[in-house]
Amino acid sequence: MASGSASSGSSGTKAVVTRFAPSPTGFLHIGGARTALFNWLYARHHGGTYLLRIEDTDRARSTDAAIEAIFDGLSWLGLAGDEEPVFQFARSERHAEVAKALLDAGQAYRCYLTSEQLAERRQKAQEERRPFRLDSEWRDADPTTWPEDQPYVVRIKAPRDGETTIDDQVQGAITVQHRELDDFVILRSDGTPTYMLAVVVDDRDMGVTHVIRGDDHINNAFRQLVILRAMDAIEGGWPDPVYAHIPLIHGADGAKLSKRHGALGVDAYRDEMGLLPEAVFNYLLRLGWGHGDEEIISRDQAIEWFDITDVNKGASRFDMAKLQNLNGHYLREAADERLAELVLPRLTAAGYEDADKALLARAMAELKVRAKDLNELAEGAAFLFAKRPLALTEKAQKLLTDEARSRLATMHERLSGLSEWTLEALEDNLKAMAAELELGLGKLAQPLRAALTGQTTSPGIFDVLVLLGRDESLARIHAQASVSAETQS
């Protein structure tokens, strides 16, 4: 749990550099956003730098739209990089240069095994029921015997003896025996670098000191260290980073997070669900990390408290209801002007073209306490801009009995005579009327609400009257009261 003390990663003199390295093959999903958040927080906590790298080497699957969505989602969450992002594909030549240095130093070799040969060997191992481990005869071949006219891949010479232990900041110490590592490919036969090589070279060149990423990359870390240590032996200056592999996010039912659980793009949280970035930020922060029982944690507080060693080792569960509750909290905290700005386009899109920001902002204090997200806020605000005759919900319709409609007629008459259209004047007048009729105020407020908003729930009735103003209020009351007059005549 949270200790509040400085992390072990800060003990060196080197400034902390973290990075978030998404592959732009899909949207920025919620797990990726949390990885970005932890990288950002760790860097901020230690006064370091947080970088972005777009891992766009998979040319077939990387798209500009995904890159845009990633930048967009990150800026929305306040997690844009501290420097210009690095694009991995653009650095292919540098990656190939490192592969060449490894080849020249005898730390890598050209492997001419064909895919057919590899498949045969794999099948043979399967038939003999032993695990397949590549043992290329090219590993120790003299470079002078390398054919120049045949296709080859470049493989790293992985160590065969000994073991490597990673002191993972989240998972603890993990050891892998070197005999379990194979001579994996670093350059493909078309000369393009593999992901394994590109990550190591980029992290080193970007000065990354702490690699914080999903725990699906743990096995890669051991292979990446093979490249790193080989380069360090060749030219020095390729230090091991500190690793922190954070667990995946699961759905509320414990299953791997899927669309059904909310594994959507960050844009869906913003656009479709109408959540505020500070709520998503706070929620992601608490997903697998905590500080005592604190639920509401500001950015500054998070920076002060966060440490990667306090991240839980077990998978965390995504809980949509919790996220919505947090969002309700942040809605109530948010400035009315800002909320009006956010809700306005939703109303316009819903057909309320005359929706007015100033009126929305004035209504916001009353509206936001009744909503958990921007959609509910827009729904709650819609009555302000509805055109007469208002559409009534079924419940509102039921409320407007003949008796209720005749009371509306009376209210219309009395309210028309008011010299001042203020909260106090309206309240005094309606309370006096209720007393005279020997009715509870609710008996007047309910039909009034139905007539003014078309609904049975809304902000306080006097607020509604003031927000709509005298003319619109009276017109809406009249529209419902007059029905009564007709049916009674």
Token pair, residue 139, equals 């590993």
Distance (Å, rounded) from C-alpha 489 to C-alpha 474? Answer: 22
Distance (Å, rounded) from C-alpha 414 to C-alpha 408? Answer: 10
- Smallest distance from the beta carbon of 32 to ligand GLU, in angstroms? 7
95 binding ligand GLU? (CB under 6 A): no
Q: Was 313 annotated as part of a binding site?
A: no
Residue count at the site for ligand GLU (CB under 6 A)? 7
How would you class 440 by CB atoms within 10 Å of its CB: exposed for 0-12, middle for 13-18, buried for 19 or more?
A: exposed
Among 55, 168, 310, 373, binds ligand GLU (CB under 6 A): 55
Pick from 196, 208, 183, 197: nearest CA to 100: 197
Residues 6 or more apart whose CB falls under 8 angstroms from that of 153 comprise 110, 111, 185, 187, 188, 189
Token pair, residue 320, equals 């949509």
Q: Please report where in the chains the tokens 């292979």 appear, as a residue.
A: 223
- Smallest distance from the beta carbon of 69 to ligand GLU, in angstroms? 14
Nearer to ligand GLU by Cβ, of 37 and 344: the residue is: 37
Distances (CA, A) of 456 to 149, 383, 392, 426: 81, 11, 9, 20
Stretch that binds ligand GLU, among 19-27, 38-46, 101-109, 341-349 (CB under 6 A): 19-27
Distance (Å, rounded) from C-alpha 476 to C-alpha 472? Answer: 6
Distances (CA, A) of 239 to 34, 91, 201, 308, 380: 26, 20, 12, 20, 57
- Smallest distance from the beta carbon of 101 to ligand GLU, in angstroms? 21
Nearer to ligand GLU by Cβ, of 217 and 362: the residue is: 217
Among 21, 37, 208, 257, binds ligand GLU (CB under 6 A): 21
Among 16, 18, 22, 269, binds ligand GLU (CB under 6 A): 22
Peptide bond preceding 389: is omega within 30 degrees of 0, i.e. cis? yes
Residues 179-238 within binding reach of ligand GLU (CB under 6 A): 199, 213, 217
Distance (Å, rounded) from C-alpha 418 to C-alpha 470? Answer: 9
Nearer to ligand GLU by Cβ, of 35 and 282: the residue is: 35
Active site residues: 259
Nearer to ligand GLU by Cβ, of 200 and 364: the residue is: 200
Distances (CA, A) of 202 to 15, 206, 221, 359: 17, 6, 14, 52
Residues 353-412 within binding reach of ligand GLU (CB under 6 A): none
* CA-CA-CA-CA torsion sign (283, 289, 294, 300): negative
Find the residue with minimal CB distance to ligand GLU: 213
Nearer to ligand GLU by Cβ, of 52 and 381: the residue is: 52
Stretch that binds ligand GLU, among 15-23, 113-121, 238-246, 412-420 (CB under 6 A): 15-23
Stretch that binds ligand GLU, among 18-26, 114-122, 265-273, 460-468 (CB under 6 A): 18-26
Longest CA–CA separation in the chain, Å: 110
Nearer to ligand GLU by Cβ, of 67 and 350: the residue is: 67
Residues that bind ligand GLU (CB under 6 A): 21-23, 55, 199, 213, 217
Task: Report the binding-site residues.
Answer: 259
Task: Report the binding-site residues for ATP.
Answer: 259
